[in-house]
Amino acid sequence: MQEPECDAASMLAVSDLAFSRGGETVFSDVSFHADSGQVLQIQGPNGSGKTTLLRVLAGLLRPAAGTIRWHGGDTRKRAWEWRHSLAYVGHANALSRDLTVVDNLRFAARLGAAVACDTADAHTAYRVLGRLGLAACANRLAGALSQGQQRRIAIARLLLEPKPLWLLDEPAAALDPESARLIAACIEEHVEHGGIAVMTAHRPVDTAATRYFCFERTGSCLI
């Protein structure tokens, strides 16, 4: 059965989204929806616009056209609520190299908190690091860790505070198979608890709840 391209009643509903850079269209007419419990994997060739789409969804780039609705409301009109509903992990790990791993997480927790807080909970940071097999690295400088370890810290930030929508750009980049499985388990658990993950991945994270959105040079489609 053909799925509807866009459903305004969905938790996340994207309609006719377009983005241009320097007068050139990167993508246009992108429509999809996602609901609680779903993983939406964006696939497509290099340069087709997957990262750009995630950055537009995250509010880091302004779309040329189209709407992004969250619980039915236009995210442009509810920017604060939208910002605090999502967690974004881009290509870059965005760590402070000269802070310890645990201080990176505490700093991220303070930045991401919906309510201002003076201290971010170190216990939470240690618990999250243990979950991702990073407990032994907690007091090392982030800049002294391997690429794969740094990637896992970037992912660990997702677990600090529950956000319903995860936007993940190649979350398993630089990870060994065991670490990639750990990340896949975190994503599965997130959607099992009612979250949504929209992600790019050249190596798909295949769960029962995964749907695929394909970027092609000639357009895009949901399968």
Ligand X SMILES: Nc1ncnc2c1ncn2[C@@H]1O[C@H](COP(=O)(O)OP(=O)(O)OP(=O)(O)O)[C@@H](O)[C@H]1O
Residues that bind ligand X (CB under 6 A): 21, 26, 44, 46-52
Paired tokens of 3: 């799925």
Question: What is the closest distance, in whole angstroms, from the C-beta atom of residue 205 to ligand X in the complex?
Answer: 16
Nearest to 176 by CA among 206, 146, 197: 146
Distance from CA of residue 58 to its chain's centroid?
8
Whose Cβ is closer to ligand X: residue 33's or residue 50's? 50
Q: What is residue 111's three-state secondary structure?
A: helix
Torsion of CA 195, 39, 13, 90, to 10 degrees: 90
Q: How far apart are CA 132 and CA 72, in angstroms?
A: 34
Whose Cβ is closer to ligand X: residue 36's or residue 51's? 51
Question: What is the closest distance, in whole angstroms, from the C-beta atom of residue 164 to ligand X in the complex?
Answer: 24
Question: What is the closest distance, in whole angstroms, from the C-beta atom of residue 50 to ligand X in the complex?
Answer: 4
Whose Cβ is closer to ligand X: residue 41's or residue 104's? 41
Whose Cβ is closer to ligand X: residue 52's or residue 104's? 52
Question: What is the closest distance, in whole angstroms, from the C-beta atom of residue 89 to ligand X in the complex?
Answer: 14
CB-CB contact of 197 with 206 (8 Å): no
Whose Cβ is closer to ligand X: residue 101's or residue 197's? 197
Amino acid letter at 173?
A
Whose Cβ is closer to ligand X: residue 94's or residue 99's? 94
Question: What is the closest distance, in whole angstroms, from the C-beta atom of residue 53 to ligand X in the complex?
Answer: 7
Question: What is the closest distance, in whole angstroms, from the C-beta atom of residue 220 to ligand X in the complex?
Answer: 11
Contacts 24+ apart (CB under 8 A), 2-8: 3/222, 4/33, 5/31, 5/32, 5/33, 5/222, 6/31, 6/32, 6/33, 7/33, 8/69, 8/72
